[in-house]
Amino acid sequence: MSLSAFRFLTLITLGAMAACAGGPGLSLSSVADGYRNPQTVAGDYLQGKFAASQHDYNFAAAAFDRANQESGARALKAGAFRSALAAGEFDRAITYAHALLALEEREDTPAELESLLGFLDRDLPRLTLAAQAFRRDDISGADTVLERPFESSLGQGIADLLSAWVIYDAEGSEAAIASLRSTQNPAIAAFAPLHLGLMFDLDGASETAEVAYAEALRGDAQDLALEAYGGLLERRKPREEAISFYSKLAEDQGFARRLGRLGLARLEAPLPQETAEFVRIAERTRLRIVQNPSEGAALVFLNFAWAAYEQAIARQSAARQAGFGDLPINLDVPLSLARLAVAIDPDLDAAHYVLGAIKGFYDRPQEAAEALDRIAPSSWLYNYATIDQADAYLALDRADQAIALLERYLTHDALAPDVALTLSQIYADEGRTDKAVFTANRALSIASDLSSEENREANLWRYYFSRGAILTEADRWTEAEPDLREALVLAPEEPVVLNYLGYSYVERGQRLDEALAMIERALDQRPASGAITDSLGWAHYQLGNYQEAVRYLEQAVELEPGDDVITDHLGDAYWQVGRQVEARFEWRRVLQIDGLSAALRQSVEAKLAGTPPAPGTLADQAVSSGDASMSGP
């Protein structure tokens, strides 16, 4: 029995693909023996496999390609196909898709891998050939590829939605609806309303399209549904109705804000302070996200790619918050599906955004920056793409390029508080405090102007918090404290604010009862947070509660074993309670952690050389009766 499509997505993104890297029971002899240059084949195979594990798919594709010149082993063809597709080498992927599909089906597949390998070795190559047909606007050719059943629930779900566009092209929207209803495939339930709305919209059936879009807004393609619905309002409804819709979106704090502002600018109702350049950009925006069946097919691949990516990241985040650390996840399938979307529609900005996000997750910042650079200024994703591109430059140690990118963005968009906030944080990290504060002021002012009374609290706390943190790190506490207090008023249960403000008070010996209570409230909400657990432990250290500090810091290290600062804190706490051997062990471990700062390395080396760690800054201060219960034994 096949897995449901979304359970299947979970399987492939939680590392199960690693089991399929070379196929079941694969040995070097199975790919090299009997061929002219077995050592060369084996070497290329190992190079390709290692490169793929490091997400260097261009190198992997070239290595597998060389091996395939000597050997006809299935594993080499599979590796070459997957790597070429992940690298965006579409023509090479097509060649190997044909080669894989020409092979007989496996007979030695373990039951637990049958569905997964069915997707990777059979369904994905067929979907690649379907994408090639759509890319050529050969809709009947796509129909030929899609007509036979697929082997996995995911493959069948994608194929069913693609087939709906084939049927729409041949017979119209009513036939496409009938086809989707007859499949009864739960894998497409989240996306079918959007695609039906797009079909009705292309037919000019505005009322029916509007109903479908309204249903799509409750599904997994909400952002795209908002874009499609807004375009429908602009083209088919009274101007006032479209303005009202876009005005609500412009108050949003997420993706929808730019979408709303672009719509208002097109309707000659721009927000105050919009630049002339922003208005010109808005006028270049397409009012339809799909204009033909091939673009509809590209959107199908995008929908599944985005859903798989978001599901994987959400599961990893949930695991981290539950105390399980970072689960290994594999994003090769959403990466490949996004590649197919771009192969059909090279101008599909959201697909480039997914590619950039995955490349960023895979720690390929140059490739992430290149993907994000493809997103047009007229896209509703452009501000987020710019922020992510700046992050990629920072990962490449190119802070000046990140700053220049964000400064350039703000010259044509005066109402992007998220971009201004990011720029202020980079200025602060670079030691340019005055520019950081000035830009943080600008970000807060913009965000305040864009916020309504209903969403003011949700929108503004992060801007007050960020400015307060910049001022705190610049040792301007009297200016910082009001900002941090205001952030707490706006978001009284936000763990980040509680933790940072509470610890800031502890460092200064102020409001100690309240400070420890804040950190404990933050920890109550995120008990698996190593950072917050460390804050509470280090707060006890500063107060001289060393036994209590050890208890929390041991928990923090268990949660974040690779964090150099937390490990150093635990070493200091061990020293203060007389556990010197363990203290030295932790300090030595700090020196083995990658990315160690020069200052921390110097501090740890001094302690290992015999300089004892400084006691808590408030260790000699009398603990109030209200804090007595927090003292160690």
What does the pLDDT read at residue 221?
Answer: 81
Candidates 259, 263, 265, 262; CA nearest to 237 is 263
pLDDT band for position 203 (cuts 50, 70, 90): very high
DSSP-assigned letters across all residues of 40-55: HHHHHHHHHHHHHHTT
Q: Domains, the chain, ranges and CATH?
A: 41-103 (1.25.40.10)
For residue range 465-510, what is the model confidence (pLDDT) as tens digits?
999 999 999 999 999 999 999 999 999 999 999 999 999 998 888 8
Kindly state the average pLDDT of the residues 585-610.
93
pLDDT band for position 38 (cuts 50, 70, 90): low
pLDDT band for position 19 (cuts 50, 70, 90): very low
- b/e map of 339-360 (b: 16 or more CB within 10 Å)? bbbbbbbeebbbbbbbbbbbbb
Distances in whole angstroms, Cα of residue 595 to Cα of each of 265, 563, 590: 46, 10, 10
Question: What token pair was written down for 198?
Answer: 């797009």
Mean pLDDT of the chain: 88
Checking if the pLDDT of 354 tops 70, the result is yes
What does the pLDDT read at residue 1?
Answer: 32
Contacts of 508 (CB under 8 A, 6+ apart): 477
What does the pLDDT read at residue 602?
Answer: 95
Helices (H), 362-398: 365-372, 382-395
How far apart, in whole angstroms, are the C-alpha atoms of residue 469 and residue 450?
23
Kindly state the average pLDDT of the residues 80-109.
88
